[in-house]
Amino acid sequence: MSASERGDAARVLVRNASKWYGNVVAVNDISFDLGPGVTGLLGPNGAGKTTLLRLIAGFLEPSSGDVEVNGQGSWRNPRIYREVGIVPEREDLFPFLTGREFVRLNAVLHELPFVDAATEQAVEAVDLTARQDERIGTYSKGMRQRIKVAGALVHDPSVLLLDEPFNGMDPTQRLKMIDLLREDASRGRVIVFSTHILEELHHLAEDVLVVVSGRLAASGNFREIRRLMTDRPHTFTVTATDNRRLASALMGETSVSGVQLDDGHMVVKAAGRSAFATALPRVAKEHDIGLREVTPADESLESVFNYLVDA
């Protein structure tokens, strides 16, 4: 009997899970316990997010540790798929099927009693009713993403796993998908999705798991993680009309931890982005110095994640 049939809350439990291929460690001793709601898996490309989702989906055997979905081990256990819906990242679908045929195929393979009604409902949920009879081969990237979501939702799973689900969607489609997933989460579904874009989490995920180099770098509330990312030390390259005078003026600011004069510009180490963003124009104005260029020097996602790992 499944968790939802028993009336238990859906759960995804990952306990000290690792996955390695020879000498390459893809996932390193990760643990978390997820209940109903939306959780975002955030990390740069190659961080191990997809491997982690595959472990939860039962597509990979953990090298060590346990992965459970609704109290059942996910590896070599096809029964869990009654409770799990999966949206893979790869775009490859069956191009010769229409959208409706694809969703219907999923419904049949799940042995649903009312295949046509479930298909209709799922296609409608992703707003593809008008295009359901067109071949998937003619679909745009965003439409393919949506039809994959419909296929994953057709059996009303209690756990939904999505790998980079917003890839290729335009802003309107994104908002609709976000609404759909939020509504699903409010009905008690566990939704886990991966992304390497922080802003994708903004409207959707309350909880965030940050994965870097196969390790869980941070976990918790989205706003808290975002604050950590925003308030971390930043480095800026600044070019002004008088670099030397601006450098000495900035040294007196609490939001600045160091200034280094370079050839034609200066490199400023700021304690936090928002405080520095306020202080810099103020100081420049007070000393009547013109600002020519202000560029963040360490805004790559990797540097942000590395900071979180070190924090």
Partner 1 sequence: MNPRVELALAALTWRLLLGRRRWLALLLCNGLPPFVGWLFVLEQADVGATDALNFTGVLMATMVLSVLLPLASLIFGAMALGQEIEDGTLAYSLAKPTARWRLVVTKVFVAVGATLVTILPGIWMAGWIVLDDPAHPIVRGFSVGVTVAAVLYCTGFLALSLFTRRALILGLLYVIGWEGSLSRLFAGTRTLSVREYATSLSESIAGGELPGLLSSPLAPSTAVWMSLAAFGVMMTLAITRLRSLELVEEI
Nearer to partner 1, 46 or 233 (CB): 46
Q: Which range binds partner 1 by CB under 8 A, 29-37, 94-102, 183-191, 255-263?
A: 94-102
60 sits near partner 1 (criterion: CB under 8 A): yes
Reduced to 3 states, what is the DSSP secondary structure of residue 25? strand
Separation between Cα atoms, residue 213 and residue 311, nearest integer Å: 15
CB of residue 131 to partner 1, shortest distance in Å? 20
CB 154 within 8 A of CB 118: yes
- Axis crossing angle, helix 141-153 with helix 115-125, rounded to the nearest 10: 140
Number of C-beta neighbours around residue 231 at 10 A: 13
Among 1, 23, 96, 288, binds partner 1 (CB under 8 A): 96
CB 162 within 8 A of CB 201: no
89 sits near partner 1 (criterion: CB under 8 A): yes
Among 12, 53, 160, 270, binds partner 1 (CB under 8 A): 53
Q: Which range binds partner 1 by CB under 8 A, 82-90, 116-124, 250-258, 265-273?
A: 82-90
What is the radius of gyration, based on Cα positions, of the chain?
24
CB of residue 54 to partner 1, shortest distance in Å? 5
111 sits near partner 1 (criterion: CB under 8 A): yes
How many amino acids of this chain bind partner 1 (CB under 8 A)?
Answer: 34
84 sits near partner 1 (criterion: CB under 8 A): yes
Show Cβ contacts of residue 192 under 8 Å, excluding neighbours closer than 6 positions.
Answer: 12, 34, 38, 39, 41, 53, 56, 159, 160, 161, 162
Give the chain's end-to-end CA distance (angstroms, integer): 43
CB of residue 104 to partner 1, shortest distance in Å? 8
Among 1, 23, 24, 78, binds partner 1 (CB under 8 A): 78
> Considering Cα of 202, then 203, then 205, then 207, what sign does the dihedral take?
positive
CB of residue 108 to partner 1, shortest distance in Å? 4
Which residues are paired to 33 by β-bridges? 13
106 sits near partner 1 (criterion: CB under 8 A): yes
Show Cβ contacts of residue 183 under 8 Å, excluding neighbours closer than 6 positions.
Answer: none
Separation between Cα atoms, residue 281 and residue 291, nearest integer Å: 8
134 sits near partner 1 (criterion: CB under 8 A): no
CB of residue 150 to partner 1, shortest distance in Å? 12
Nearer to partner 1, 111 or 288 (CB): 111
Among 151, 165, 214, 272, binds partner 1 (CB under 8 A): 151
CB of residue 149 to partner 1, shortest distance in Å? 13
CB of residue 74 to partner 1, shortest distance in Å? 11
Q: Which range binds partner 1 by CB under 8 A, 3-11, 53-61, 219-227, 254-262?
A: 53-61
Q: What is the dihedral of CA 280, 281, 282, 283, to 10 degrees?
A: 50
Helix (H) or strand (E) holding 54: helix 49-57
Interacting residues with partner 1 (CB under 8 A): 21, 50, 53-54, 57, 59-61, 76, 78-82, 84-86, 88-90, 92-94, 96-97, 105-106, 108-111, 151, 161, 163
